[in-house]
Structure 1
Amino acid sequence: MQRVTIKDIARLSGVSVTTVSRALNHGPEISPETRERILRICREQGYRTNLLARSLISSRTNVLGLILPDIANPFHATLSFNIETYARELGYQVMLCSGRPGDGRIEELIDFLIGQQVDGILLSSASDQARYLLRRCRDILPTVLLGSCVPEASGVRVNSVSTDNFVGGRMAAEYLHRLGHRDVAYLGLRSGSVTHTLRHAGFLAAARELGMTVTTVENTGPSSAISSGYQMARRLFAAPLSQTALFAASDAVALGAIQAADESGIAIPERLSILGFDNIEYAALPNIRLSTLSQNTPLLARAAVRLLLELIDSDSRDEYTGKLITPTLVERATCAPPPC
């Protein structure tokens, strides 16, 4: 079968090759109707843009690299979907990879993406090592960290977009206090995670101001998975339970805690309120209806893509931007006033 060329598309569309090229590159000079007609003909004829040829001409591939720590994690899956959707609206494709700091893959993945001539890299990570990994790319291509970054601690600065996790932790404590809870637990602190360290710090700061007692259960595992939440909650429930509410470091941890509570005969929320963080899709299921703090994932994804594209279009490598997205409280069925 003979390969369809851009000249073939131009002939079938009744426009010039330049017009087809502008349509494929989302040029502002092309009307939406003309662009859609050209793209429809491309689909019908099986035309595929030659990214290598485009990169040789424009020094751009219109491809972004995205590295996630765990594609199976519901939050990261939703984040990836939103990033890809928004990037595609702006004429970019996304090359998705999976790896986390500490497993030895991040450095390889960054080198791989650079070799694929991506225009920029988004790294989603809660690890305190993430900024060091991106710093090595500083003079090669633009990068954005999707995660909390505390540059004051090391002097290593990177461009970042993150939920305001400290504020989110404060919001969680204030909400549980408004419901009447005074003896609470924080489930899932991971000491190597900047994200969870900030959530915990914000929660503790507000709890102290409000006169609340906090029991912290640490997560020694590599991720905040449902299984981790289940095991941590089982440890907490093994002793006499004085706490009337539990703030989980993530929705996945909260789901594990709900399972452990059910097995232990602890009624949710009549005996124990459970509050999550992330607002993953599962949280809204009718049989769960988890109260949580939403990271506003679509907004987070758009902010990250916009920042990366701004960096791609900029000649400066000496200015850094850190954007924080305020979380939103989502009240559902797993939180209520404490038992009398």
Structure 2
Amino acid sequence: MKNPTIKDVATKANVSTATVSRYLNNSSYVSKEVQQKISKVIDELDFVPNCVARSLKRTETNTIGIVVPDLSNVSFMDTVKAISDVVTASDYQPIILNTEESIEKEEKILDVLVSKRVDGIIIASAGKNEKLLKINSTKLPIVLFDRDFCNSDDDIIIDSVINDNFIGSYQMINYLISLGHKKIAILCSENNPILKNDRLRGYIKALEHNNIAIDENYILYGNYAFESGYELTKKLIMQPLQPTAIFSVNNLMALGTVAALNEMNISIPDKMSVCAFGVFKYHTILKPDLTVVNQKPSELGRIAAELLISRIKNPHDWKPKKVVLEADIIMQNSCARPR
């Protein structure tokens, strides 16, 4: 079946091809009603902008899209810098965009990048975005970082560079258990089910392997923001049976945990052990310095960028690849034996 064209979209939406082009390129005014009509048809036809033109003629723009869910997160900033260093050294210009963990915003950003004919995309997706699969099928190189996509048979379908989220979480909970903790809380996020599932699985598996019952009261869901970690920690402390340790699945939520505990005069680690998945660039200002799973953000970005450049330079090498960085724990002073 041939790929749908702009003309197909225009015909089904009962508008001109020029109107569809204006909508895709944001070049001039298109009414809200017409925008909604075109958007609906694009979804129905599984249309990817420029896919036909791209398949007929490769037009290099020497640009690479870098898409992240949260530029306020220091780990992502370090990853983006590492990506930028590699791509600029290879004579490509990075276009850096932020999705705010929104699939809807991510889809619009992807449409813009494809319409601008970027030579490749490096992205930490806000979820299992089907549009990425459509774009990838047009042979536009895509590399996921900090996220990966597999099909129902666990086959790799898009290039990815990730941390070993399951093992990292598993090791951290085992470490807390070795200190004597049994009442361990985890702060998760519903925003990205890919990360949530792997890091939560590691938490659950570690408890199971040590014959510790899973207490749903210790599994809390928010988002990856500082404010979420703050609110969830307050909620934990107000429970009749408080945990003795709190593990956050990302660093911003962990900072929220520290702020809440400080506000309530709960000493770390004397009264509460705290740890997280993800490094802190300015960790020396934390008192105490937090024990973390090393996310290796710069290494993650460097490898993702090198993989993408390799795909661009070798367009016929299309067997998807997944690079998994080994998990390790950076031991600091935020965890101690429960009292």
Report the counterpart of residue 272 of structure 2 in structure 1.
Answer: 272
Report the counterpart of residue 337 of structure 2 in structure 1.
Answer: 337
Deviations 1:78-119 (A, max 9, x none): 221221123223333211011156452222212222232321
Q: TM-score, normalised by structure 1?
A: 0.75
* Aligned-residue offset at 1:235: 0.7
Q: In the alignment, does 2:237 pair up with 1:240?
A: no
Report the counterpart of residue 68 of structure 1 in structure 2.
Answer: 68
Looking at structure 1, the residues matched to 65 and 288 of structure 2 have their Cα atoms a distance apart, in angstroms, of 35
Count of paired positions: 278
Q: In the alignment, does 2:114 pair up with 1:114?
A: yes
Asked if 1 retains the 8 angstrom alpha-carbon contact of 2:64 and 2:119, the reply is yes
* Aligned-residue offset at 1:286: 4.5
* Aligned-residue offset at 1:182: 2.0
Report the counterpart of residue 134 of structure 1 in structure 2.
Answer: 132
Asked if 2 retains the 8 angstrom alpha-carbon contact of 1:119 and 1:312, the reply is yes
Deviations 1:162-203 (A, max 9, x none): 111011111111211222222211122427421121001011
* Aligned-residue offset at 1:72: 1.6
The range that moved more, 272-281 or 92-101, is 92-101
From 217, 220, 231, give the equivalent of 1:218: 220
Looking at structure 1, the residues matched to 101 and 232 of structure 2 have their Cα atoms a distance apart, in angstroms, of 23
Q: Secondary structure at the match of 2:274?
A: strand
Asked if 2 retains the 8 angstrom alpha-carbon contact of 1:146 and 1:304, the reply is yes
Alignment of 1:108-257 (within 5 A): 108-127=108-127, 129-130=128-129, 132-138=130-136, 139-153=138-152, 157-190=157-190, 192-215=192-215, 216-220=218-222, 223-257=223-257
Q: 1:259 to 1:100 in 2, by over 3 A?
A: closer
Amino acid at match of 2:310: E
Looking at structure 2, the residues matched to 275 and 218 of structure 1 have their Cα atoms a distance apart, in angstroms, of 15
Q: 1:309 to 1:133 in 2, by over 3 A?
A: same
Looking at structure 2, the residues matched to 286 and 106 of structure 1 have their Cα atoms a distance apart, in angstroms, of 33
Structure 1 segments (4+ residues) deviating >6 Å: none
Amino acid at match of 1:180: G
Amino acid at match of 1:335: C
Amino acid at match of 2:77: A
Q: Secondary structure at the match of 1:187?
A: strand
Q: 1:98 to 1:284 in 2, by over 3 A?
A: same
* Aligned-residue offset at 1:238: 0.5
5+ residue gaps, structure 1, are 1-57
Deviations 1:121-173 (A, max 9, x none): 0111252x23x221111214111111332514387821111111011111111
Q: 1:193 to 1:232 in 2, by over 3 A?
A: same
Find the structure with the greater CA-based Rg: 1
Asked if 1 retains the 8 angstrom alpha-carbon contact of 2:247 and 2:274, the reply is yes
Q: Secondary structure at the match of 1:203?
A: helix
**Percent identity of equivalent pairs:** 26
Q: Secondary structure at the match of 2:337?
A: coil
Deviations 1:3-52 (A, max 9, x none): xxxxxxxxxxxxxxxxxxxxxxxxxxxxxxxxxxxxxxxxxxxxxxxxxx
Q: 1:227 to 1:135 in 2, by over 3 A?
A: same
Structure showing greater relative contact order (alpha-carbon pairs closer than 8 Å, 6 or more residues apart): 2
Q: 1:191 to 1:209 in 2, by over 3 A?
A: farther
Amino acid at match of 1:137: I
Amino acid at match of 1:114: V
Looking at structure 1, the residues matched to 163 and 208 of structure 2 have their Cα atoms a distance apart, in angstroms, of 23
* Aligned-residue offset at 1:65: 0.7
Asked if 1 retains the 8 angstrom alpha-carbon contact of 2:278 and 2:293, the reply is yes
Looking at structure 1, the residues matched to 237 and 258 of structure 2 have their Cα atoms a distance apart, in angstroms, of 11
The range that moved more, 208-217 or 232-241, is 208-217
Amino acid at match of 1:217: I
Asked if 2 retains the 8 angstrom alpha-carbon contact of 1:170 and 1:205, the reply is yes
Amino acid at match of 2:60: R
* Aligned-residue offset at 1:245: 1.1
Q: 1:170 to 1:249 in 2, by over 3 A?
A: same
5+ residue gaps, structure 2, are 1-57
